[in-house]
Structure 1
């Protein structure tokens, strides 16, 4: 539970002061031997801890997933395999797995979403990374508009959705090859652009390094760049910007 939720329960006589006191006396992390769960991360930063599933032992992943679910009633995992989904599904049949983005999650059904983030891709091959960004932002409470396959080789496709993109609080530009989409968007919007280079491309793209260098060297203003294929990082930062945009409008 969040601190505010605990206080609301005390106010509504749903839990006693003594029970609330136990919650606030907890350590800021939970020691599991092989992991230290950051149970107070949401209190400090507004975002609960997320599981990076890749390369975790089955036993460790299952126990971490279980403890985070018990803590918050929802869990979000990135870079999960089909095998890991099947493992978690045995204990939590309600878990949802997206084989495209490799996201594994249990999400609260009554979640409120605010603002708007536009997630754009240059090509269809970039969608797996874009979905990691989009679903991260949605999990953390943002409305997301997906605008896919609008790369510079057919820029009229991008221009046809410009009104929607310009109305967002933040834009995520996901592109491989030469990574030019971020620069184009940076010159068309008055909001921050989070550029995500992907490892999509032929030999000289060097598994995304070419797109990364293009984005870092962009002459357009207002562009920030995350690591190659880091959809999660882009979705997280975009959510922070979106929250600020919503609060400014209030």
Structure 2
């Protein structure tokens, strides 16, 4: 195991070690655009600080660098996400249901699912229920109506979040994916459809932003804080 060069780390990143205390959720490391060596330095600092962390958008070389410093980290190759410590916390709060319109949307959906799970929520995944066969989503209504919040990942025409929002009382986090043929413009078509959703209660995150969708869902489904005790009057 290689010890971090603190001088080199200072040139790469400044870890926000107080974020969990300040916001209730730890910092995540976005690996895209970083070299494997840079990610390795950050992973070593995370280890030394005993800092809970997610590593997102990690390709195989990033994953190898993280695992060199955090060998027990959990790695989901499809979601391109690593989590350390590897065991999710005991879930609290409400249920987060993540819906993937098609199998091709599944990597982004899994990123959202794992993010919500590692941020402490109970999660369920529903796969391949796009609008080309509406009976499929209608067949999952019992589960959808138990959710505190629903994340819907869809590419192509991006219509599924609006359909789901018209069937449930929970808020829907719409997650456009870059799946689709040429006129889908790598997710722009789905993004615009979701922004123009007819059903109320739909919030939209950026294209392929599974981490952002999962984080928002975890916040929405967080436990309700206990009310502060009423002050007692002096005798």
Question: What range is the shorter-chain TM-score in?
Answer: 0.7 to 0.9
Query: Is the deviation greater in 90-99 or in 177-186?
Result: 90-99
The CA deviation at 1:203 is 1.0
3-state SS of paired residue (1:83): helix
Q: Distance in 2 between matches of 1:209 and 1:185?
A: 20
Q: Distance in 2 between matches of 1:249 and 1:44?
A: 18
1:59–1:198 Cα change, 3 Å: same
1:51–1:110 Cα change, 3 Å: closer
3-state SS of paired residue (1:72): coil
Aligned residues of 2:178 and 2:188 also touching (Cα < 8 A): yes
The CA deviation at 1:204 is 0.8
1:74–1:39 Cα change, 3 Å: closer
Aligned residues of 1:69 and 1:75 also touching (Cα < 8 A): no
Gaps of 5+ in 2: 1-8, 228-235
- The structure 1 segments of at least 4 consecutive aligned residues displaced by more than 4 Å after TM superposition are none
1:152 to 117, 120, 131: 131
The CA deviation at 1:248 is 6.9
The CA deviation at 1:110 is 7.0
Q: Distance in 2 between matches of 1:187 and 1:233?
A: 23
1:110–1:119 Cα change, 3 Å: closer
Comparing both structures, which one devotes a greater share of its residues to helix?
Answer: 1
TM-score, with structure 1 as normaliser: 0.83
Aligned residues of 1:126 and 1:175 also touching (Cα < 8 A): yes
3-state SS of paired residue (2:192): helix
- Does 2:218 match 1:247? no
Aligned residue for 1:202?
A: 181
Aligned residue for 2:31?
A: 53
3-state SS of paired residue (2:12): coil
Q: CA RMSD in A?
A: 1.8
Aligned residue for 2:165?
A: 186
- Does 2:47 match 1:69? yes
Aligned residue for 1:174?
A: 153
Aligned residues of 1:133 and 1:233 also touching (Cα < 8 A): yes
Q: Distance in 1 between matches of 2:119 and 2:98?
A: 15
Gaps of 5+ in 1: 1-30
2:121 to 132, 137, 142: 142
2:10 to 5, 8, 32: 32
- Does 2:202 match 1:234? no
Give the paired residue count. Answer: 218
1:84–1:151 Cα change, 3 Å: same
Q: Distance in 2 between matches of 1:91 and 1:233?
A: 26
TM-score, with structure 2 as normaliser: 0.88
- Does 2:73 match 1:128? no
3-state SS of paired residue (1:51): strand
1:113 to 91, 108, 112: 91
The CA deviation at 1:98 is 1.4
